[in-house]
Amino acid sequence: MIIEEVHLAAVTGNVSSQIELADMYFYGIEVPVSYSNAIKWYVKAALQGNSLATIKVGMMYEHGQGVMNDIYEAEIWYKKAKNITSSFYF
């Protein structure tokens, strides 16, 4: 199964695999939908500087998916994503 391969790469720190695994949990691809597992893997990728994952964490806080709805926490993650993205242009 693909999930085992993706999980193995994700636990070793591969950002792309962390996002792929998070997406699998978020959308229920090969696994049941699990927002709590999805945000766990999005956060891991976000903490490595991935702006897409950082935005996804913000969205999950904004909509209360896998975490308590917290617009202030969402704003923090959105600002982090903006800072990551902005750093590419300077």
Residue 50: predicted pLDDT: 96
Residue 55: predicted pLDDT: 97
Hey, what domains does the chain have and what are their CATH numbers? 2-87 (1.25.40.10)
Q: Which two tokens stand for residue 9?
A: 């790469």
Residue 88: predicted pLDDT: 53
pLDDT band at 84 (very low <50, low <70, confident <90, very high): confident
In angstroms, the CA 28 to CA 85 distance is 28
- Angle at CA 56, nearest 5°, toward 19 and 33? 65
- The predicted model gives 39-62 an average pLDDT of 97
pLDDT in tens, 62-72: 999 999 999 99
CA atoms within 13 A on the CB side of 76: 7
pLDDT greater than 50 at residue 51: yes
